[in-house]
């Protein structure tokens, strides 16, 4: 239960920090942090939580990461579903807290997006469903390669949170204009449920694509890693 609690809290922090920066700070008049600030915020949530709970649960914070680590031979199958449930619940609770905060501002309109992921008319840059599918698969694949490589027993010890957090920052810098960046089904679910409508109808892509990408990343790393750890 300690591991599941850690995943709940860690995913809560990721959604509150990352999506909170997008909802509350990205477009603040005159002082907004913009895309770059949101990207950094997401990277910092993973970096800080990796040091805080990495020794407890591994700090997955993401169903696709848990699935990828299982496919990469790093995570037992019997913990997969409880981890995913804890992550999704943490994301939903964080989304609720963020909603309570954001709705305290006059004129708040959750239908504008609430940091939800989308494609087509709901892509920040108007990108198609195919563009969204491809970028989410490819970026999640490389995210898993970075995670598996940084946590390999042959890699320098104690530094894994840094490349993983920086990788997530880079991923957001690339893909916020395309999908608002998911690579994490829990993060997508945690805010989409409060928007409903288009956000929940497009949510399937932000489960399917990251999971496919994670499986491909695990396969790719196993192919290039060579000798067993």
Q: Is the pTM of this model over 0.85?
A: yes
Q: Report whether 154 contacts 32 (CB < 8 A).
A: no
**Hey, what's the torsion of the CAs at 66, 68, 73, 76, to 10 degrees?**
20
- Has residue 182 got a pLDDT over 90? yes
pLDDT of residue 227: 57
Q: pLDDT tens for residues 136-173?
A: 999 999 999 999 999 998 888 889 999 999 999 999 99
pLDDT of residue 157: 82
Q: What is the CATH number of the domain that holds 102?
A: 1.20.1080.10
- Domain hosting 26: range is 1-225
Q: Which of 210, 166, 182 is nearest to 19 (CA)?
A: 182
Share of the chain above pLDDT 70, in %: 99
How many structural domains comprise the chain? 1
Q: Report whether 171 contacts 138 (CB < 8 A).
A: no
How many other C-beta atoms are found inside a 10 Å radius of the C-beta of residue 151? 21
Q: What is the mean pLDDT of the chain?
A: 94
Distances (CA, A) of 184 to 101, 172, 210: 23, 12, 6
How far apart CA 22 and CA 2 sit, in angstroms, is 30
pLDDT of residue 136: 98
Q: Which of 61, 77, 88, 177 is nearest to 127 (CA)?
A: 177
Q: pLDDT tens for residues 33-87?
A: 999 999 999 999 999 999 999 999 999 999 999 999 999 999 999 999 999 999 9
137 versus 226: which is more confidently predicted? 137
Average pLDDT for 16-22 = 95
pLDDT of residue 228: 57
How far apart CA 170 and CA 168 sit, in angstroms, is 5
How many other C-beta atoms are found inside a 10 Å radius of the C-beta of residue 103? 12
């Amino acid at each position: 239960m300690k591991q599941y609690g850690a995943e709940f809290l860690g995913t809560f922090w990721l959604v509150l920090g990352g999506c909170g920066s997008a909802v509350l700070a990205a477009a603040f008049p005159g002082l907004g942090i913009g895309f770059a600030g949101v990207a950094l915020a997401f990277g910092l949530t993973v970096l800080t939580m990796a040091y805080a709970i990495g020794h407890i649960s591994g700090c997955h914070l993401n169903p696709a990461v848990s699935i990828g680590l299982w496919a990469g031979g790093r995570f037992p199958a019997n913990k997969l579903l409880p981890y995913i449930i804890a992550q999704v619940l943490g994301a939903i609770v964080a989304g609720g807290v963020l909603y309570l905060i954001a709705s305290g501002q006059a004129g708040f309109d959750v239908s504008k997006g609430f940091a939800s992921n989308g494609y087509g008319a709901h892509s920040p840059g108007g990108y198609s469903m195919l563009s969204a599918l491809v970028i989410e698969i490819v970026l999640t694949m490389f995210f898993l390669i970075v995670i598996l490589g940084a946590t390999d027993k042959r890699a320098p010890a104690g530094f894994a949170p840094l490349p993983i957090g920086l990788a997530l920052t880079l991923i957001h810098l690339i893909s916020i204009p395309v999908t608002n960046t998911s690579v994490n089904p829990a993060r997508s679910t945690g805010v989409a449920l409060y928007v409903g409508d288009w956000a929940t109808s497009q949510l399937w892509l932000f489960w399917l694509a990251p999971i496919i990408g994670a499986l491909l990343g695990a396969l790719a790393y196993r192919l290039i890693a060579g000798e067993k750890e």
